[in-house]
Structure 1
């Protein structure tokens, strides 16, 4: 059985405490920030698509997925490794586990980077 409590008022907190007090030994309890919202995810991909369509990066057009890797690597202080066939691989992060605050940071980075490179993000704010 899995129970999720969003601590938005005292009753929710009391319900969570009661559930923990009644839980069997061996159960696992996790308290964490809420993960990204569907609205944030729905905004992120059109923004990345605008970068992919409008920015040429060192002579190359990149995909939305490529831009996500580059920007998440930048946001979390990138790591690299030598590629199997030469070159380097830059490790980005998977955003599905991002908190709302972390995804907000990424979206702000996308806007800032896009502004520096003349990207037009028309109508993307209507999505969120």
Structure 2
């Protein structure tokens, strides 16, 4: 199992602390195996506000749109819609055989998405909903207005 150390550095003062922590972690890690160090700008993972926008939207879609599953039209739970819609962000889908037959779609995890990609997902859900006649609930509309104002 790999462990990951993430340290956010927002100022020069925090940089000294971060250098000391990273140096100590590298030393410990090298006792077991080679260590990889990565630096990236923190344009960040999705925000909690973005996550709060997602679930009212998925709930609206789940209540109003039927989708073909195993040969019949059905209302799906928000979690299934999350899988379907996040798969819509990629032009290429990944599929693996199930351990007892059938297939498993390998999808994206919204918890790993950056802000910009999550914003694309929100736009995709609104476009999908509009194309399928979804009437957005008050919570979904409220968060969408906040989202539109922030971009």
Fold similarity call, TM over 0.5: yes
Distance verdict in 2 for CA 1:96–1:85, change over 3 Å: same
1:74 is displaced (CA, Å) by: 1.9
Q: Following the alignment from structure 1 to structure 2, what is the Cα–Cα distance between the partners of residues 24 and 73?
A: 36
The answer to whether the aligner puts 1:116 opposite 2:131 as a matched pair is yes
Structure 1 runs of 4+ aligned residues shifted over 4 Å read 3-21, 23-29
1:125 is displaced (CA, Å) by: 3.5
Q: Following the alignment from structure 1 to structure 2, what is the Cα–Cα distance between the partners of residues 13 and 117?
A: 50
> Alpha-carbon deviations, 1:88-119, whole Å to 9, x = none?
32222211111001110111110111111001
1:10 is displaced (CA, Å) by: 8.7
Structure 1 partner of 2:67: 57
Judge conservation of contact 2:57–2:125 (CA < 8 Å) in 1. Answer: yes
Instruction: Report the 3-state secondary structure (helix = DSSP H, G, I; strand = E; otherwise coil) of the residue aligned with 1:60.
Output: strand
> Alpha-carbon deviations, 1:36-88, whole Å to 9, x = none?
011100000110111100001121111100011111112123212334343x3
- Which sits farther off after the overlay, 77-86 or 41-50? 77-86
Rg larger in structure? 2
Structure 1 partner of 2:51: 41
Normalising by structure 2, what TM-score?
A: 0.64
Q: How many residues align?
A: 126
Distance verdict in 2 for CA 1:110–1:8, change over 3 Å: farther
5+ residue gaps in structure 2? 30-34, 147-151
Judge conservation of contact 2:60–2:137 (CA < 8 Å) in 1. Answer: no
Name which structure has the greater RCO, CA cutoff 8 Å, separation 6+: 1
